[in-house]
Amino acid sequence: MKLVGIIGEHPHDTEAVANLLVQKFANIVNFKTLLREIHGSMLDSQKTKHLLRKAYENNQADVIVFVRDLDAFEDNREKKLERQTYFNESNKVIDGRGIFLLNIQTLEALIFSDIERFNAFAKSELSFVDNPMMIDNPKRELKENSSYSEGQCPEIFKHIRIDTVAQNCRYFREFLNEFEKRIA
């Protein structure tokens, strides 16, 4: 059984991603949130890199998933470079065992990839979107059109289907392909 550490901007995010991935990898991977006390831009600090190294050494993770939001559209080169630099520097700290899940805008865009299951969960009537990464502010869209709150995110990710999310979100599909190679 392999151990996959997950680091993100909030424990709700890392738990949500673990809940989605466990649908497909429960028999071969254990998931563990690392650095639970680190939030948002704290991930970019030098102190966090030291804590990351300690967490890596203490947990002996085979792979570490870094979950970050771009908080911009995908054509924002400056923000993409900033996030890629964060990942590259953090990945050096853990001897190259990292894999990057970059969410265009926010993690909530993945919910729109399987909006049918979200609607059943939240008893809402949101519409399917061809490219969920093109939604300006998916978190706001969910809040304004349903009873969604960030605290529900881990539970919602138990209900949305990993294969449907991969089918409808190019970024997640590319991440999932790389993830499967890394844990093989």
pLDDT tens per residue across span 67-100: 999 999 999 999 999 999 999 999 999 999 999 9
**For the segment 11-25, what is each residue's pLDDT rounded down to a tens digit?**
999 999 999 999 999
**C-beta separation of 4 from 62 below 8 A:** yes
19/9 Cα distance (integer angstroms): 16
| pLDDT of the residue at 179 | 98
What rounded mean pLDDT belongs to the chain? 95
Q: SS3 string of 38-84?
A: CCHHHHHCHHHHHHHHHHHHHHCCCEEEEEEECCCCCCCHHHHHHHH
**% of the chain at pLDDT higher than 90:** 91
pTM value is 0.94
Helices marked H in the chain: 11-25, 46-59, 77-93, 109-112, 115-122, 138-145, 153-159, 162-168, 170-183
* Residue 129, helix vs strand vs coil: coil
**For the segment 22-58, what is each residue's pLDDT rounded down to a tens digit?**
999 999 999 999 998 888 889 989 999 999 999 999 9
